[in-house]
Amino acid sequence: MPKLKKLTGRFAASIKVHKIRNKDIVLVLDFGSQYTQLIARRVRESKVYSQIVPFNISSKEIEDIKPKGIILSGGPLSVYDKGAPLPHKEIFKLGIPILGICYGMQLINHVFGGKVKGSKEREFGRAELFIDNNRDLFAKLPSNITCWMSHSDEIKTLPSGFVKLAHTLNASIAAFGNRVKKIYGVQFHPEVVHSQRGTQVLTNFLFQICGCLPRWTMEKFIDATTSQIKERVGKKKVILGLSGGVDSSVAAVLIHKAIGKNLYCIFVDNGLLRKNEVTSVQKTFKGHFNMNLTCVDAEKNFLSRLQNVTEPEEKRKIIGDEFIKVFKERADKLKNVSFLAQGTLYPDVIESFSPTGAPSEVIKSHHNVGGLPKNLKFELIEPFRELFKDEVREIGKHLGVPDAILKRQPFPGPGLAIRIIGEVTKERLEILREADERVLDEVKKAGLYYEVWQSFAVLLPIKTVGVMGDQRTYENVIAIRCVSSVDGMTADWVQLPYELLGKISNRIINEVRGVNRVVYDVSSKPPATIEWE
């Protein structure tokens, strides 16, 4: 459910808003699986709204939400491990259909008195699933399909009332169900693309078992969210940190639709932007959308704070702090400003901290999440906090945001500061800015700009020896990063044509003063992240 947020310390707590009654909700209880977000996405792709919540959510909270179904995610632990995450047992007495996936299945078996033991042969990767009963959960499926396994424990004995629905060569019970209680479990991961017909398994659960209707659409999200924002904000003013990227741009248009001239967009020229960024943003939002837009030249303050700073987390927090200072100054001049709006996305939240309390690791703080100061004086409006990039683009399309913005490749909030490894200086920014422009220019000329997720340059903290014009050089190294992705949660490096790589390298070395070597990053996410810092 889209929510307004109010900051309390590092974490954002929900401001109470009216529940959206025009859609069904399925809750995904997060037990720390790397695929939890993928489960939520698959449900939404079936036009049913899903919300990820902590594994230890109370039965009372669940009853208040009134979900049509509950999915228990996988997780890295065994149900017998010390400290293994366990839900409140009362959730199994609510009469709400439940589907357990991997750890979630083993958890159900354990709670109801079945036995779980370590497998003699662990299953990781593809496996052949033999369906023993093709009713409800496996309806409209063939007798055997390929599925994706990732487990070292298995079900040995079933609890009373449960029946086996499928097996593999290594797992005698790979799926089970209790049709009276409408509680089911699968040992495999139907949410990953490697599981053949996995989406069918999930839609069977959603539509046949839970009785959901496919009515979660972006149009309804827009209507519900604008109504909530309008009601909450009233006649007060909202400032929005506009970067010109997809997320903040669509957020600006959505909030402008809700409150009109009470939205004040602030574009901060922090000296960390791409070439010609300021002119482009002014043209789009003052001209096309006729919004209140103020451009603030804060380059001197940002670069002064970043002087001698090399640690990525410190960079992000400094940048977040400086942004807030600018917003506070502008808010004091405007008066009656109570809200700060941001285009925060769900992947930003996930990487900054575990949003659900599940046993997962902080990867890096995003300047608009973990980088915000503890004593923030504004209430936060983050309409996309639980959405993915492709969902935001779809919203933007419905709102009439130009393709030039919607199809724009993501650009990090901290800007070029996190694409400069090491200290950020004006000289190094200029080198990276020029190199980055040539990367983008050649990718566009090759017709690949809209085909890839991101393509950009990174300035490394080393210099190498070269020969230019029969003279020895000792200059900087630029890394090129180009990845494909759907939502930024995972990404693969793109196999750019050698000819294109050659053109980019030649242009950077010949046209950007201070660079004598170019390398290409061939790392995927995971284990790497898309940005270097």
| pLDDT greater than 70 at residue 36 | yes
Topology agreement, domain 218-356+367-407 and domain 426-520: no
**Residues 6 or more apart whose Cβ sits within 8 Å of residue 289:** 252, 253, 256
Q: In what order do the strands lie in the sheet containing 98-101?
A: 49-54, 25-30, 69-72, 98-101, 183-186, 175-178, 163-167, 115-131, 144-157
| pLDDT greater than 90 at residue 109 | yes
Average pLDDT on 218-237 reads: 91
Q: Which of 104-108, 140-144, 263-267, 483-487 has the lowest mean pLDDT?
A: 483-487
- Which CATH code fits 426-520? 3.30.300.10
- Domain 218-356+367-407, CATH among 3.30.70.380, 3.30.1330.40, 3.40.50.620, 1.20.140.10: 3.40.50.620
Question: In whole numbers, what is the pLDDT of the chain averaged over residues?
Answer: 86
Is the Cβ–Cβ distance between 259 and 233 less than 8 Å?
Answer: yes
pLDDT-derived band of residue 413, with 50, 70 and 90 as boundaries?
confident
pLDDT value of position 523: 93
Q: Where do runs of H (alpha helix) occur along 346-425?
A: 346-352, 389-398, 403-406
Is the Cβ–Cβ distance between 365 and 354 less than 8 Å?
Answer: no
Catalytic residue among 110, 151, 167, 189: 189
Measure the CA–CA gap between 49 and 121, rounded to whole angstroms: 37
Coil, strand or helix at 92: helix
Phi-psi region of 488 (alpha: psi -120 to 50; beta: other; left: phi over 0): left
The full DSSP string for 247-258 is HHHHHHHHHHHH
Coil, strand or helix at 259: helix
pLDDT-derived band of residue 506, with 50, 70 and 90 as boundaries?
very high
pLDDT value of position 371: 45
Least Cα distance to 49 among 70, 23, 79 occurs for: 23
pLDDT value of position 519: 98
pLDDT value of position 123: 59
pLDDT value of position 16: 32
Tens of pLDDT, residues 455-470: 999 999 999 999 988 8
Tens of pLDDT, residues 338-378: 898 988 887 666 654 454 455 444 444 444 444 455 666 78
Is the Cβ–Cβ distance between 409 and 453 less than 8 Å?
Answer: yes
Strand ranges for 200-303 from DSSP E = 237-241, 263-269, 292-297
pLDDT-derived band of residue 5, with 50, 70 and 90 as boundaries?
very low
| pLDDT greater than 80 at residue 238 | yes
**Residues 6 or more apart whose Cβ sits within 8 Å of residue 282:** 267, 293, 295
- Range of 353-357, 434-438, 484-488, 489-493 with top mean pLDDT: 434-438
| pLDDT greater than 90 at residue 227 | yes
Measure the CA–CA gap between 354 and 352, rounded to whole angstroms: 7
The full DSSP string for 461-484 is EEEEEEEETTEEEEEEEEEEEEEE
User: What whole-number percentage of the chain has pLDDT above 70?
Assistant: 88
User: What whole-number percentage of the chain has pLDDT above 90?
Assistant: 54
Amino acid residing at 339: F
In degrees and rounded to multiples of 5, residue 517 shows phi and psi of: -150, 140
Reported pTM: 0.67
pLDDT value of position 310: 95
**Residue 482 is among the residues annotated as catalytic for this protein:** no
pLDDT value of position 33: 84
User: Across the strands, what pairs with 4?
Assistant: 381
pLDDT value of position 359: 47
Domain ranges of the chain: 25-209, 218-356+367-407, 426-520
**Residue 379 is among the residues annotated as catalytic for this protein:** no
Measure the CA–CA gap between 402 and 397, rounded to whole angstroms: 8
pLDDT-derived band of residue 224, with 50, 70 and 90 as boundaries?
confident
Average pLDDT on 292-307 reads: 93
pLDDT-derived band of residue 130, with 50, 70 and 90 as boundaries?
very high
| pLDDT greater than 70 at residue 450 | yes
Instruction: Give the DSSP letter of residue 246.
Output: H
- Which CATH code fits 25-209? 3.40.50.880
| pLDDT greater than 90 at residue 156 | no
pLDDT value of position 357: 52
pLDDT value of position 195: 83
pLDDT value of position 397: 94
pLDDT value of position 420: 97
Measure the CA–CA gap between 317 and 420, rounded to whole angstroms: 16
Measure the CA–CA gap between 306 and 315, rounded to whole angstroms: 7
Average pLDDT on 90-108 reads: 95
**Residue 277 is among the residues annotated as catalytic for this protein:** no
Based on the number of CB atoms within 10 Å of its own CB, is 501 exposed (0-12), middle (13-18) or buried (19 or more)?
middle
pLDDT value of position 428: 97
Least Cα distance to 115 among 157, 153, 173, 167 occurs for: 157
pLDDT value of position 375: 62
pLDDT-derived band of residue 398, with 50, 70 and 90 as boundaries?
very high
Tens of pLDDT, residues 53-64: 999 999 999 999
pLDDT-derived band of residue 3, with 50, 70 and 90 as boundaries?
very low
Q: Higher pLDDT residue, 280 or 210?
A: 210
pLDDT value of position 243: 80
Instruction: Report how far apart, in Å, the C-alpha atoms of 299 and of each of 272, 275, 414 are.
Output: 8, 14, 13
Measure the CA–CA gap between 258 and 363, rounded to whole angstroms: 34
Catalytic residue among 154, 191, 379, 391: 191
Q: Which of 185-189, 272-276, 288-292 has the lowest mean pLDDT?
A: 288-292
